[in-house]
Every structure is written in C-alpha cells, then in structure tokens.
Amino acid sequence: GAGVSQSPSNKVTEKGKDVELRCDPISGHTALYWYRQRLGQGLEFLIYFQGNSAPDKSGLPSDRFSAERTGESVSTLTIQRTQQEDSAVYLCASSGTYRTREAQYFGPGTRLLVL
C-alpha cells in the first residue's frame, strides 16, 4: 500500500484479556517501530525492528508486552493480561533503513481502551 496501515483502528477489551495489534509497513521499508501515546502525552518508544530482528526492546514497559515481525513485513504487538494503564493509542512507523537520518512514516494508530 501507499502508507503504513494498522488494524484494528479501535479496540475495546476487558482487563485481563490479551490483545493483538497489527502493523503493515510501507513496502520495502526495513525498519519498523512501535510507539505508545497516552492521552495528553508524547510518543513513548516501545520497540524497533531491523528486518525481523529486534535489536532494541528497551521501551517495552513489562513482560506482558511482546512483538514479532515476519520478514520485512507485518508486525504484531501483543499485550497479555491487559491492564487499564495500557489504554493508549499504539502507533507504528516504518522507515527505509535502520540508519540514523531516516524520517519515519507513521500509521493511523490503534486506539486501545481497557475497561
């Protein structure tokens, strides 16, 4: 596609349930990033993929959060046993390479609400 796409656009879940968020990067982009944006706050880095490996997982807030990527394509962010504080917009971005000086192209985000 022309841009980064994410699904679902909105997700409402009950506390304790698992959720999967999907990201389709721009075709040919090797680098993929996940961010979280809580209401009224800036973007919080979660994880970055270079191809299908994740050299930097430093932003994952707890072991309930995990992510994987198939080749240089789709990525899935999984949150297990969701908590109310997980409610946020989860943004995915991709860039042409993993090198510095690359601007990132963002998807529309998945708005997650944990009741």
Partner 1 sequence: AQSVSQHNHHVILSEAASLELGCNYSYGGTVNLFWYVQYPGQHLQLLLKYFSGDPLVKGIKGFEAEFIKSKFSFNLRKPSVQWSDTAEYFCAVNLYSSASKIIFGSGTRLSIRP
Which residues bind to partner 1, rule: CB under 8 A? 3-4, 31, 33, 35, 40-45, 48, 50, 55-56, 58-59, 91, 93, 98-101, 103-109
3 or 16: CB nearest partner 1: 3
3-state SS, residue 85:
helix
Question: In whole angstroms, what is the distance from residue 84 CA to residue 107 CA?
Answer: 23
- What is the closest distance, in whole angstroms, from the C-beta atom of residue 36 to partner 1 in the complex? 11
- Residue with Cβ nearer partner 1 (13 or 26): 26
Could you tell me the smallest distance in angstroms from the CB atom of residue 63 to partner 1?
A: 20
Q: Which amino acid is at 106?
A: F
Cα–Cα dist 12/22, whole Å: 15
Q: How many Å separate Cα 51 from the centre of its chain?
A: 15
Q: Which C-beta is closer to partner 1: that of 30 or that of 82?
A: 30
Query: Least distance from C-beta 72 to partner 1, angstroms?
Result: 15
Residues 14 and 47: their CA atoms lie apart, in Å, by 24
Residue type present at position 90: Y
